[in-house]
Structure 1
Amino acid sequence: MSNTLYDCDLQLWIEQTIQQLKNHEFESLDLEHLIEELVDLGKSEKNALKGNVMILLAHLLKLKVQHDVPDSMKGSWYSSVLEHRQRVLNNLADTPSLKSYLVEAVEKAYPEGRKLAIKEGKLAKFGVRVPEESEYPIMCPFSLEQILDEDFYGF
């Protein structure tokens, strides 16, 4: 197996590929690796959206299920909802075609977000009630509109 520029120095390979494209040197392109990188780029965009949706859902769930905790505890959850909702909105604005993936992203992210909310809920301290797992809905209780609504906080 020979070491190609792609294997030895990815950044230099990217710069060379860009230059080849600009110069219309299509015959010298490393098409195999170019295709691989484009596929990975699409996956990373979807993964970023799914990751932000997961955190957003986890904290919306905590606000819904643990609505009775002191406001001092809710502050970071509100901040997280604001931050991750904005990240989701930015993902969708920067890459509008991701809107067609949003339903799937929520379906994939909700079980992970639920698991995270449950784990974080078990860390409750200072006499705060630890919710039962059954209090966290198995199916996502939020609509897409609610998830994206900048004034919605899980209740």
Structure 2
Amino acid sequence: MPEPSLTGEPPSKKSVHHDFIDQVHINRDRSHIRTCDRLLQRIVAASQGYDWDVTGKAKALQQKGRVMSVTYTADFNLWIEKTAQLLRDRHWHEIDLEHLIEEIEDLGKSERRGVTSQLIRLLLHLLKWQYQPQRRSDSWLDSITDARTQISLAIEDSPSLKSYPAEQLEVSYQRARQQAAKQTGISLEVFPEACPYPLELVLAEDWLPEANSSS
């Protein structure tokens, strides 16, 4: 409100107008401050795993994340179903993020382990095919064919694994060599110390090694 004039005269219309405009500006600035304050509160809450409901009151969504964590331990299949639904619904703060990251990382490891396992299986049966020709069977041939198929399918699904068999060839061969010695009863020294097969032939659809001359 305008202050009374020292002369006792009423304030002019111009003065009253200016004071009114000043008050409007002050109220508007206060409104902006309140708006900015609420926005800051929302940002801080979101960074701490909270969300805000329509009334502007914080909701503790971290509790829901803890519930999902318990579900992970108690019922893994149910956890998968609920996590998939939360992702579809974009309920990010309700997701059990820690276990989800672990599962994604384990999925990549599982794919690589699968390729390695099939490569060991393939090399094992190639060694048996070569060093025990008298015991060759359709089941050995089926194992060789299936191992190649499984490796091929894994690479089709995840092209980034294309170089992985080459990286694992020698390590996989050493394990296959150990298993071949145990399963055949042939001395470990009989099998070559390094993989005798080029990877291209190992993975080739119709290739089989010739019988070992000393067999």
TM range (shorter): 0.7 to 0.9
Letter in 2 for 1:62: K
The 4+ residue runs of structure 1 with deviation greater than 4 A are none
Q: Distance in 2 between matches of 1:40 and 1:150?
A: 30
1:100 positional shift: 2.6
Does residue 95 (structure 1) correspond to residue 161 (structure 2)? The answer is no
SS at match of 2:163: helix
Q: Is this contact kept in 2: 1:81–1:153, CA < 8 A?
A: no
Q: 1:74 and 2:136 equivalent?
A: yes
Equivalent pair of 1:56/1:85 in contact (CA under 8 Å): yes
What is the letter of the counterpart of residue 144 of structure 2?
V
1:29-57 residue CA offsets vs partner (Å, 9 max, x unmatched) = 11100000011111111111111100100
How many residues align? The count is 142
Higher RCO by CA contacts (8 Å cutoff, separation 6 or greater): 1
Partner of 2:92: 26
- Decide which moves more: 89-98 or 40-49: 89-98
Matched, 1:39 2:102: no
Q: Kindly provide the amino acid, as one letter, of the partner of residue 17 in structure 1.
A: T
In 2, Cα distance between equivalents of 1:60 and 1:150: 13
Q: What is residue 188 of structure 2 aligned with on the other side?
A: 133
Alignment check: 8 A CA contact 1:50 1:108 kept? no
Matched, 1:153 2:208: yes
Shift in Å at residue 95 of structure 1? Answer: 1.9
Partner of 1:116: 179
State the structure with more CA Rg: 2
Letter in 1 for 2:79: W
Deviation of 1:144 (Å)? 1.3
CA offset digits 1:87-127 (Å, max 9, x no partner): 211222222211132222323311111111111111xxxxx
TM-score (norm 1): 0.84
Question: Counterpart of 2:21?
Answer: none
Cα deviation 1:72-99 (Å, max 9, x = unaligned) = x211322221121112112222222111
Aligned-pair Cα RMSD in Å:
1.7
